[in-house]
């Protein structure tokens, strides 16, 4: 069936952002599709009863389908939902969360709220740009490839990052470091920070105000992509929690650590990135919060060690990377038996995997909400509150 073309109807959008179709008793995963599309597809790869396919021709468009405004769409690997109107994007993300929770964790949530991004475009305040010096291309990886798509205009970047992208692209090749393969960029209230630094581009220290807290960071430390939703993210992640002891796992520069330190008598933040922990300590110091300590260690190592671990924990917040929390971390949380957990996730599949373990360990999901931190892509931020 490889490279042959077939007609299918797209039934819905699945986790990973692909469309679901059926063909001759096999399941087809179709990239860049919309639910309700009638399309001719080409099978690119076959694995058992699974077909991985791309669209050759749209026979009948879904009512959800729009014309993607970006000229790089389909080739650039950055966005995969530009073919959907925004309401359809939000619905697809709710369906993706619901599908993962049901299929992986056995949890059913018929109604899932996705908080929309205030901006559907020009929202991305952090980016990683790739450089291929041999081809003289600068932009993002192409879809399913390590080839660099040469991008001059990115529709999802905030204007200051777009301006920086143009400045870097206009830099003479001889002024670029010979070893430069990728460039991290992030925005703050006072400018743009780049890492690694070169020529006139600096790894500047940035500041950003979120809710009532001020944060300092740079491009060497992780900070959230969509800064417009951070106030609501912090509000929902913490709700009305308070008590004696809280633990903030994968704490970064302290986005949640600072407000937690105003609610709990003692807070421990754990983060592996030494640049991030340096900023987290400074952010606490600048906020005059002395009741929180930051540990530079992998969360797994810290959980396995007895050093600096509190005897009792009232609240655990974890915000792991896309791979989710390590098994040892989930076991450590179960052993600590906090009365409440807030799990902040950027991947519904790994979230569902970890929730299954936490629920089996005696916790109950109390509330859940999605946040569209990544418009024009299938990615979605989810926050889940669990109680004993």
Report the greatest alpha carbon distance in the chain.
65
Q: 3-class SS at 166?
A: helix
Chain center to CA of 25:
34
CA dist., res. 229 & res. 119, Å (int): 10
Phi and psi at residue 56, in whole multiples of 5°? -95, -40
Q: Residue 239's Cα: distance from chain center in Å?
A: 21
Q: Which residues contact 119 (CB under 8 A, 6 or more apart)?
A: 228, 375
Confirm whether 346 is a catalytic residue: yes
CA dist 183 and 181 (Å) reads: 7
Distance, in Å, from the CA atom of 29 to the CA atom of 43, rounded to the nearest integer, reads 9
Q: Each residue of 277-293: b (16+ CB within 10 Å) or e?
A: bbbbbbbbeebebeebb
- CA angle 11-13-14, nearest 5°? 115
Whole-number Å distance between alpha carbons of 299 and 342: 16
Catalytic residue among 100, 154, 251, 346: 346
Instruction: Report yes or no: 30 and 21 within 8 Å, Cβ to Cβ.
Output: yes
Cα(127)–Cα(343) distance, rounded to whole angstroms? 24
Six-digit token string for 262 = 């105003």
C-alpha distances out from residue 236 to 115, 241, 324, 332, 338, Å: 11, 10, 20, 24, 18
- DSSP secondary structure code for residue 270 in this structure: E
> Under a CB-based contact definition with an 8 Å cutoff, are residues 244 and 266 in contact?
yes
Active-site positions read: 346
């Amino acid at each position: 069936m490889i490279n042959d073309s077939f007609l299918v109807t797209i039934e819905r959008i699945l986790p990973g952002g692909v469309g679901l179709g059926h063909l001759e008793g096999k399941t087809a995963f179709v990239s860049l599709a919309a639910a309700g599309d009638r399309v001719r597809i080409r099978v690119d790869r076959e694995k058992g009863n699974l077909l991985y396919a791309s669209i050759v021709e749209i026979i009948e468009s879904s009512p959800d389908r729009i014309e993607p405004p970006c000229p790089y769409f389909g080739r650039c690997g950055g966005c995969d939902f530009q073919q959907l109107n925004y309401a359809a994007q939000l619905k697809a993300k709710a369906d993706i969360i619901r599908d993962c929770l049901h299929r992986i964790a056995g949890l059913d949530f018929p109604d899932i709220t996705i908080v929309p991004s205030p901006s559907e475009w020009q929202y991305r305040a952090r980016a990683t740009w790739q450089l291929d010096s041999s081809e003289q291309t600068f932009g993002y990886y192409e879809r399913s490839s390590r080839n660099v798509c040469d991008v001059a205009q990115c529709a999802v970047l905030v204007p200051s990052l777009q301006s920086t992208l143009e400045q870097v692209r206009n830099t003479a090749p001889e002024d670029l470091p010979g070893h430069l393969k990728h460039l991290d960029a992030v925005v703050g209230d006072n400018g743009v920070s780049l890492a690694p630094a070169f020529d006139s581009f600096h790894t500047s220290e940035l500041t950003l105000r979120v809710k009532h807290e001020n944060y300092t960071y740079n491009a060497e430390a992780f900070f959230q992509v969509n800064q417009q939703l951070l106030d609501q993210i912090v509000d929902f992640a913490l709700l009305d929690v308070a008590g004696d002891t809280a633990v903030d796992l994968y704490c970064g520069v302290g986005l949640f650590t600072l407000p937690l330190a105003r609610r709990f008598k003692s807070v421990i933040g754990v983060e592996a990135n030494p640049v991030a922990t340096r900023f987290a300590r400074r952010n606490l110091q600048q906020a005059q919060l002395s009741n929180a300590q930051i540990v530079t260690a992998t969360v797994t190592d810290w959980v396995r060690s007895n050093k600096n671990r509190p005897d009792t924990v009232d609240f655990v917040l974890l915000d792991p990377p896309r791979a989710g929390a390590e098994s040892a971390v989930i076991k450590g949380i179960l052993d600590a038996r906090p009365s409440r957990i807030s799990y902040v996730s950027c991947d519904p599949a790994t979230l569902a995997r970890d929730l299954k373990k936490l629920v089996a360990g005696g916790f109950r999901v109390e509330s859940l909400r999605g946040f569209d931190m990544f418009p024009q892509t299938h990615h979605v931020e989810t926050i889940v509150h669990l109680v004993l």
